[in-house]
Amino acid sequence: MENIQSIKQRFEIIGNDVKLNRAIEKAIQVAPTDISVLVTGESGVGKESIPKIIHSLSHRKHAKYIAVNCGAIPEGTIDSELFGHEKGAFTGATQTRSGYFEVADGGTIFLDEVGELPLTTQVRLLRVLENGEFLKVGSSQTQKTDVRIVAATNINMFEAIKKERFREDLYYRLSTVEINLPPLRERKDDIHLLFRKFASDFGQKYKMPTIRLDDDAIQLLLRYRWPGNIRQLRNIAEQLSVLEKSRNISSATLSGYLPTTGDSNLPAVVAGGKKESDFSTEREILYKVLFDMKGDLNDLKKLTLELLKTNDSKKVQEENETLIQKIYGTNGEEVSKEEEDALEVLELPEPPKEQQAYHPPAEDKYHFAEEIEEEETLSLQEKEIELIKKSLERNRGKRKAAAAELGISERTLYRKIKQYDL
């Protein structure tokens, strides 16, 4: 069994971090077996090196090694890419095609970004892991394959399982052994070492003197958070090697190449509180609007009842100015197209035209509470319709003028017109 140092030299892995060494050690230990491995870590930490180490130290090293980026294959074709398809299985399938699992029989498949697999493909993959069987797209004949699967992901798998984006049974099948690679910000002692290696490589590649960092620039390099990890560090080294005329890089020069969004050493904010769907938010807004409208209607009943009793609209308006402002808002508000659409969605059902207010005989002094409430409701509704009709007639159908006369906003008037089909 090869030691960690020889593996680093063979696969050009740079660094002496304890967590990095532990990850390489686990890869060496599991390589001779056929158990599946899940490599985890942030984007850009070098996860692709682990499956190469595992394959090269396994008994499958002379067979095929295929790396598949699951996130780069369209959902409609990924089953065909992985498992193959029969001629005529779908539009464009002009001939039978072998998938990666058939081609890599006896070897190793590296599934990068496995968390991006569609749920239907996850079911197929689970079957391969359980008994080595798969079906080509458009075929009913079961085929066998002997493939070692190493997967990698940069997402939180438990969050994905919780949100039902990834099958829990498949996760436990893939992660028989889990190898985690640390982010670059947790490998402080390796950052400058990696930068010097990249700078030397790019100096040779572009036939230019190797760039060097002064002390302040080195400290800035170590303080930076490196959200893109090793990939980002390599890109910075290449940019400096090509663009800077001076081969001695100061902190001021280096800071110009570091995005300001990532220069803090504070903990990263993880978007774990993101809502699964916007439907719940829309439902809450809809409920709030409906409850507000219900309150407005009750207040409107109160105002109209006072108007009926006193028959003095000016006095009622003066005494209930705060309530009127609460219900109708400021006069002269324009109705936007979006509001009109929203009002159509929230339009209340039309009152039955055949309903008539109930007027009890004058000599009948006692009525049940239900009958009184019904009488008030129906008469208030009719009074409101009558007032709106008269105002629209006087203003020749101009909503803005009618709304001003009624003391309500144009938005509210529009809703009433739609509600009562005026």
What's residue 12's pLDDT? 92
What three-state secondary structure class fits 66? strand
pLDDT band at 302 (very low <50, low <70, confident <90, very high): confident
SS3 107: coil
CA distances from 122 to 174, 311, 405 (A): 11, 73, 65
Location of each CATH 3.40.50.300 domain in the chain:
4-182
Return the higher-pLDDT residue of 13 and 264: 13
Domain 185-262 has CATH 1.10.8.60: yes
Contact of 413 with 403, CB cutoff 8 Å: yes
Confidence of residue 212 (pLDDT cuts 50, 70, 90): very high
Q: How confident is the model at residue 280 (pLDDT cuts 50, 70, 90)?
A: low
State the average pLDDT over residues 147-157.
96
Mean pLDDT of 382-390: 81
Select the more confidently predicted residue: 112 or 329.
Answer: 112
Compute how many other C-beta atoms are within 10 angstroms of the C-beta atom of residue 332: 10
Per mean pLDDT, which range of 184-198, 299-313, 317-331 is the poorest?
A: 317-331
Share of the chain above pLDDT 70, in %: 74
**In this model, does residue 69 exceed pLDDT 70?**
yes
Q: Which two tokens stand for residue 389?
A: 């009709």
Of 219 and 372, which is predicted with more confidence?
219
State whether residue 374 is helix, strand or coil: helix
Correct CATH for 4-182 of 3.40.50.2300, 3.30.2320.50, 3.40.50.300, 3.30.70.1400: 3.40.50.300
* Residue 339 Cα distances to 255, 329, 344, angstroms: 48, 15, 9
Task: Read off the amino acid at residue 137.
Answer: V
The more confident residue out of 141 and 301 is 141
As a whole number of angstroms, the distance between CA 57 and CA 413 comes to 78
H helices within 224-329, ranges in order?
229-243, 251-255, 279-310, 313-319, 321-328
Using the predicted structure, report yes or no on whether residue 273 has a pLDDT greater than 70. Answer: no
Q: 370: pLDDT confidence band, cut at 50, 70 and 90?
A: very low
Residue ranges matching CATH 1.10.8.60 in the chain: 185-262
CA 352 – CA 285 distance, rounded (Å): 28
Phi then psi for residue 248, to 5 deg, are: -105, 115
Q: Please report which helix (H) or strand (E) contains residue 65, including its range.
A: strand 65-69
- CA-based radius of gyration for the chain: 36
CB contact burial 135-153 (16+ within 10 A = b; e otherwise) = bbbbbeeebebebbbbbbb
Band the pLDDT of 411: cuts 50, 70, 90. Answer: confident
Please answer whether residues 329 and 409 qualify as being in contact, where contact means their C-beta atoms are separated by less than 8 angstroms.
yes
The confidence band for 274, taking pLDDT boundaries of 50, 70 and 90, is very low
Residues 46-74: b if buried by 16+ CB within 10 A, e if exposed: bbebbbbbbbbbbebeebebebbebeebe
Calpha distance 54→60 (Å, rounded): 9
C-alpha pair distances (Å), 186 with each of 16, 74, 189, 377: 12, 34, 9, 70
3-class SS shares of the chain: helix, strand, coil, % to 5: 55, 10, 40
What does pLDDT average to over the chain? 82
Whether residue 177 contacts residue 207, with contact meaning beta carbons closer than 8 Å, is answered with: no
Beta bridge partners of 110: 67, 150
The pTM score is 0.62
